[in-house]
Structure 1
């Protein structure tokens, strides 16, 4: 089955191959933002998310990204939302 990860949105587990890895990066205005690590090779701590808007909304509501990524302060999730909407 391979490595198993937990979605920060719905808190269910799944194989790493079906989840998106997200890391802290830089947003369009230069502020800290959650970005999708498409190649799963970016440096830094990662948080895993099902590629569904529902899980993203749950993670936002629970304020899961700053906690999972160990980042003090708010994080912009717009890059992840745009990635999911593009499909």
Structure 2
């Protein structure tokens, strides 16, 4: 006879962690962000973005036609670096 005891809380925690990883991966699937997506990703308005970091030489951007595009991975890396550089109030 075989008896199994499952830790339901541990299983649920593992499931949630895996779900978060997969959702994060899905969000990362975009190669480029436009200004609307950059605003969404940063929770900032376009004016705030332009005031705070848009003109930083290190911020990756390309203007194609009349529209700005940002490589998603590079933009995210820059934003994390930029945030670390900001003073804590």
For Structure 1 versus Structure 2, the TM-score category normalised by the shorter chain is under 0.3
Q: TM-score, normalised by structure 2?
A: 0.24
Higher helix fraction (1 or 2)? 2
What is the TM-score when the length of structure 1 is the normalising length? 0.24
